[in-house]
Amino acid sequence: MSLWSEISKACQLLSQGDVVALPTETVYGLAGNVFSEAAIKKIFAVKDRPSFDPLIVHISSFEEVSKLAQKWGQAEAVLAKAFWPGPLTIVTPKTQQVNPLITAGLESVGIRMPAHPVFRRILRELKTPLAAPSANKFGRTSPTAATHVKSEFSNSVFVVDGGDCQVGIESTVVAVHETAQSVEVKILRPGMIAHSHLKRALEDAHLKKLIRVSNVEASPLAPGHTDTHYQPAIPLIIAHRTPSQETATQIEKKFSFPSLSRYSELNLNPDPRLAARDLYSEMRRLSTSGIKWMFVRKSNDRSGEVWESIWNRLDRAASMRID
């Protein structure tokens, strides 16, 4: 099927209240019309997602914000202008129109304008925002290629193949608290748009307010942030160096693997942008390569704010940490 036929089939399914998997620049999303309760319920059912984990709503134009957000402050407008379309989700008080099923009963909604041309095309065609979590079973690694989605759902979900995702990890999620004197941005989920990028964008806008950007890990504001998440099908171990034979034997015992089981290193590009792009597809490739476990090296050169976002995912994906 050509890409154009896939896009038109996706539009047809979405307008009937069905769900489809679509490419975004971050990861593939499992999309449904925000105004179809049937579609929203189906997203949760297909993913086995608990109802306490809110969905992100995707839009294609700035005008759509007013349908979803009850108020949109100066700082939110600055961040949206600086980073949309792109991998930034802004959590803000919601309007009555947003179904509480989408927000897991919260009074706020996460909004993002994705950059992928296929997703944008579909949003424009349908003229409605689409709710879309990552297109994986709950707690598992997000898909960054159409084939990942197909294997995740055993071909039961229609997928538009828009190629490999270029960002590779999920969007940065922020909540903004603004007063007459100050702007406070809380990073609920780190991503490729990092602390310094957010701060710089706000400073460059000369709001004449005190600006604070902070990381809030495992916040009750981000209820989807369970400790284990993004898990590959085989154990991932974070190690400070390549495991010795003795360490490998201990790992085999812990996971009840036969002795001398095969394992591999999860290699990461020295450039964190490329490391993020390839992270999930490498995790998937190794998971299906016949080895029993994989390790990733937490070395000093893999540090800095962009690497922090990658380690945020690896820390949750890992089953074990060793020296």
**HEC readout, the chain:** CCHHHHHHHHHHHHHCCCCEEECCCCCCEEEEECCCHHHHHHHHHHHCCCCCCCCEEECCCHHHHHHHECCCCHHHHHHHHHHCCCCEEEEEEECCCCCCCCCCCCCEEEEECCCCHHHHHHHHHHCCCEECCECCCCCECCCCCHHHHHHHCCCCCEECCCCCCCCCCCCEEEEEEECCCEEEEEEEECCCCCHHHHHHHHHHCCCCCEEEEEECCCCCCCCCCCCCCCECCCCEEEECCCCCHHHHHHHHHHCCCCCCCCEEECCCCCCHHHHHHHHHHHHHHHHCCCCCEEEEECCCCCCCHHHHHHHHHHHHHCCEEEC
Residues 2-41 that bind ligand TXA (CB under 6 A): 24, 26-27, 29
Nearer to ligand TXA, 69 or 318 (CB): 69
Q: Which of residues 55-74 bind ligand TXA (CB under 6 A)?
A: 55-56
Of residues 121 through 140, those in contact with ligand TXA by CB under 6 A are 132-134
From the list Mg ion, ligand TXA, none, which binds 272 (C-beta under 5 to 8 Å, kind-based)?
none
Question: x/- contact string, 184-213, with Mg ion (CB under 5 A)?
Answer: ------------------------------
Q: Is 144 in the site for Mg ion (CB under 5 A)?
A: no
Number of residues that bind ligand TXA (CB under 6 A): 30
Nearest to 231 by CA among 276, 284, 192: 284
Output the smallest distance, CB 63 to ligand TXA, in A.
20
Decide if residue 312 touches Mg ion (CB under 5 A). no
End-to-end CA distance of the chain: 49
* C-beta of 170 vs 278, nearer to ligand TXA: 170
Residue 89 as a binder of ligand TXA (CB under 6 A): the answer is yes
Integer Cα distance of 237 and 297 in angstroms:
9
Q: Which of 43, 98, 222, 268 binds ligand TXA (CB under 6 A)?
A: 222
**Opening angle at CA 23, ends 22 and 28, nearest 5:** 85
Closer residue to Mg ion (CB): 52 or 62? 52
> According to the binding rule CB under 5 A, does residue 134 interact with Mg ion?
yes
Q: Tell which one of 10, 40, 78, 91 touches ligand TXA (CB under 6 A).
A: 91
Query: Which of 171, 231, 309, 312 forms a contact with ligand TXA (CB under 6 A)?
Result: 171
CB of 288 to ligand TXA, least distance (A): 22
Does the footprint of ligand TXA cover residue 109 (CB under 6 A)? yes
Task: State in angstroms the smallest separation of the CB of 184 from ligand TXA.
Answer: 15
Rounded least distance, CB 87 to Mg ion, Å: 13
Annotate 103-137 with b (16+ C-beta within 10 A) or e (fewer). Answer: bbebebbbbbbbbbebbbbbbeebebbbbbbbbbe
Taking the least distance from each CB to ligand TXA, the nearer of 89 and 287 is 89
Q: Pick from 140, 148, 186, 225: which binds ligand TXA (CB under 6 A)?
A: 225
Residue 149 Cβ, how far from Mg ion at the closest point, in Å? 13
Is residue 221 at the binding interface for ligand TXA, with CB under 6 A as the rule? yes
Chain contacts with ligand TXA (rule: CB under 6 A): 24, 26-27, 29, 53-56, 87, 89, 91, 103, 106, 108-110, 112, 114, 132-134, 170-171, 173, 188-189, 221-222, 224-225
